Amino acid sequence: MSRESRYLALVLRHQPETIGLKLDRHGWVGIAELLRAMKRAGRPLSRAQLLEIVEQNDKRRFTISPDGQRIRAAQGHSVDVDLGLTQLEPPPTLYHGTASHSLDAIFASGLLPGRRRHVHLSGGADTALDVGRRHGKPVILCVAAREMHEAGHVFFKADNGVWLTDHVPARFIGFGVVP
């Protein structure tokens, strides 16, 4: 991920105020407003460069509004936003990548969102493995998502395909494929 993409993720997910931005309640900000704020912050970016970052981001972290005038992070926020996502029934199994050193805490308390608003789950073990590698020796956990849903837990799917839920109790977690 490029420096510019990391900076956009920081601003649109966690710290919009650092460059004088205020996200609307759904996490959107005008593209023109974002570009002006970035220029004032000494991080100038053209609209074409911004669109290239959005297009080339391998995790599809950013969403452009249908009218092409606004942008937001697809998920991963620590700031209070309502992405306006519809509750969905998840597939039977979702995956979570983590590091082996986190297993004791996970099996004691379940998966917690930490500083973010939601726990992130993926539809495939390969994606979970990539996530786990970022944190240490990777481990893939299987989440009995359909069973969770049937027990009353709510699931959403972000614009970029990441599944979101508030918490995954330990009883719904098992080991996936060992990398």
User: Domains of the chain: which residue ranges?
Assistant: 3-73, 94-175
Q: Is the pLDDT of residue 38 over 80?
A: yes
Architecture of domain 3-73: Orthogonal Bundle (1.10)
* pLDDT, mean of residues 31-39: 96
- The residue behind tokens 């981001």 is 57
Question: Could you tell me the maximum CA-CA distance found in the chain, to the nearest angstrom?
Answer: 50
Burial class (CB in 10 A: 0-12, 13-18, 19+), 101: exposed
Q: What is the pLDDT of residues 96-142, one digit of tens each?
A: 989 889 899 999 999 998 888 899 999 988 887 877 788 788 889 99
User: In this predicted model, which residue has the larger pLDDT, 138 or 152?
Assistant: 152
Gap between the Cα atoms of 106 and 111, Å rounded: 6
Q: Is the pLDDT of residue 53 over 70?
A: yes
| pLDDT score of 20 | 95
Two structure tokens written together for 151: 């027990």
CATH topology for the 94-175 domain: ADP-ribosylation fold (3.20.170)
The SS3 of residue 62 is: strand
Q: Is the pLDDT of residue 177 over 70?
A: no
